[in-house]
Structure 1
Amino acid sequence: MKHTPRKRFGQHFLTDTAVLDAIVRAIDPQPGQALVEIGPGLGALTDPLLARCERLTVIELDRDLAARLRRRTQLQVIEADVLTVDFHELSRQQGQRLRVVGNLPYNISSPIAFHLLAQVEAIVDQHFMLQKEVVERMAAAPGDKDYGRLSVMLQWRYEIENLFEVPPEAFEPPPRVDSAVVRMTPRPEPADVDVALLGELVAVAFSQRRKLLRHTLGRWLEARGFGGHFDVQRRAEEVPVAQYVALAQAVASPSTRPEKTAPEGAVRVR
């Protein structure tokens, strides 16, 4: 059956066998592992994965493609928007944590990343094909031009590896951007932090990238009566992930609340 790619689903089907082989080698699937593929499409990645792991769960929104995939007895097909899928429940059904892979729709790649971040305890690792620009932002280090909110919010919880780039001609139809494959491995002992608070803090910090943090994050901290120390004479892209996490922890700590007296020697926001 011929399938016409649907723009509303952001469908660009990977057809380059060399790229597919490289992705499968990077994933290195093993029999007995619980693999979940997001957006299997026409099955270009599904088939070589099945050859290695024997069974596979796929999440496909396109009902025509989902119907085609159901013909394969080795597949558990979930016909749904991935943003509605409960990966914790899927992990419980599988009896183990999940390995999540896929050629993600580029128009919703960041929402998918944050959806999985909220359920990361159910995941062993993630291997995704994404827009190259997005992968560069995910993996960027402090001081890089691509370092931003996405970098901080993912790196506090994952080790991010930009594995290799993929040109547009590897797809049908070709996208208008370059692509890249990324590996995301959850950190075994992540910092204990209020994720919502960290997200708010980082969003404020990067809201005006060209200004010193005293104009943005400094005012936000002062409004909260923060009594600790944080150097706001920097720009947002100069602050390492660990310092953002430590600041979020400090903001949440009773010792830095306005009704408490700052300990001797404490330095307030400057």
Structure 2
Amino acid sequence: MHHPYQGGRHELGQNFLVDRSVIAAIEELVALTTGPIVEIGPGDGALTLPLSRSGRPMTAVEVDPLRASRLVRRTPENVTIVNADILRYRFPRHPHVIVGNIPFHLTTAILRRILPAGHWRTAVLLVQWEVARRRAGVGGASMLTAAWWPWYEFGPRRRVPARSFRPMPSVDGGLLTMTRRAVPLIEERGRYQDFVRQVFTGRGRGLGEILGGVACDDHAAVRDWLRRERVSPHLLPKDLTAEQWATLWNTAGGGGPHDR
């Protein structure tokens, strides 16, 4: 019987990593971390087997039951293979590191699952190159990045050519690291993230107009903030840095009596 996953899981968005230099780069980034490892989508073990040689406890979460059962037979005792969908998987409640070659079409869904999880310290992810750049704010940050920047630093590490994968995708990949900040830039999350959404979806041709229409406690203070931070009123929300989002939030009513 022809198995639907044979030769690559296109319906699951999987492009297998075959470039040894990229695997080595991921090993080096993971080696800078400590503690247990959770791998997303191990596939045939291209990352699982090299990473397992560190001897660190490792959990590899694989959605394909056939590949999961194959991996069980090929991995050492420090590796646990879990046959589960990562979007439903409960991440450990102790410090750990996340690593994975992420199915490109599930990148945003997986990031939305990872970012609120409270116990991991570093994530080393292979995603689309453009996603890696946007997450890190290169050429403009996305709303998702701005919403989580006070808690995480995002870094694009290197471009990974499409030929590094089988089957070959239509776009290049990129290595992205996400590191939890030791001290968050702000404390309160829910209201800040609502504020980011308001600013990104607000009407206007630049921050000067957009911020004028956003609910905040002190519009004069926001105008002063634009001058003090030397932010042109014509800039867009995507152009702000992590630190500017934090000071804007504090100016626009964050850190005040509304905080829970």
- What range describes the TM-score normalised by the shorter chain of this pair? 0.7 to 0.9
Change (3 A) 1:46 1:234: same
Change (3 A) 1:209 1:237: farther
User: Deviations along 1:128-158, whole A, 9 cap, x unmatched?
Assistant: 10100001001125xx3x3231332232212
User: Deviations along 1:243-268, whole A, 9 cap, x unmatched?
Assistant: 323444553455589xxxxxxxxxxx
Q: Residue 203 of structure 1: CA displacement?
A: 2.1
Equivalent residue, structure 2, for 1:43: 45
**Mapped pair 1:171 → 2:168:** no
Equivalent residue, structure 1, for 2:238: 237
Equivalent residue, structure 1, for 2:102: 104
Equivalent residue, structure 2, for 1:216: 210
Give the TM-score taking structure 1 as reference length.
0.79
Question: Superposition RMSD on alpha carbons, in Å?
Answer: 2.8
Q: Which amino acid aligns with 1:189?
A: V
Determine which of 132, 137, 161 is the counterpart of 1:135. 132
**Mapped pair 1:26 → 2:29:** yes
Structure 2 unmatched ranges of 5 or more: 227-232
Determine which of 105, 123, 130 is the counterpart of 2:120. 123
User: Deviations along 1:190-242, whole A, 9 cap, x unmatched?
Assistant: 13433232222222222269722354343221xx6556621373432343322
Q: Counterparts of 2:63 and 2:243 in 1: how far apart (Å)? A: 37
Query: What is the aligned residue count?
Result: 244
Change (3 A) 1:254 1:167: closer
Q: Which amino acid aligns with 2:121?
A: V
Aligned residue for 1:109, secondary structure, equals helix
Aligned residue for 2:185, secondary structure, equals coil
Q: Counterparts of 1:234 and 1:57 in 2: how far apart (Å)? A: 47
Structure 1 unmatched ranges of 5 or more: 258-270
Give the TM-score taking structure 2 as reference length.
0.82
Describe how 1:1-270 pairs up with structure 2 within 5 A: 3-28=6-31, 33-71=35-73, 72-74=75-77, 75-87=79-91, 90-92=92-94, 97-119=95-117, 121-140=118-137, 144=139, 146-207=140-201, 211-221=205-215, 226=218, 229-231=221-223, 233-235=233-235, 236-249=237-250, 250-253=252-255
Moved more, 104-113 or 39-48: 104-113
Change (3 A) 1:209 1:36: farther
Aligned residue for 2:84, secondary structure, equals coil
Is the 8 Å Cα contact of residues 212 and 219 (structure 2) preserved in structure 1? Answer: no
Moved more, 52-61 or 41-50: 52-61
Is the 8 Å Cα contact of residues 60 and 82 (structure 2) preserved in structure 1? Answer: yes
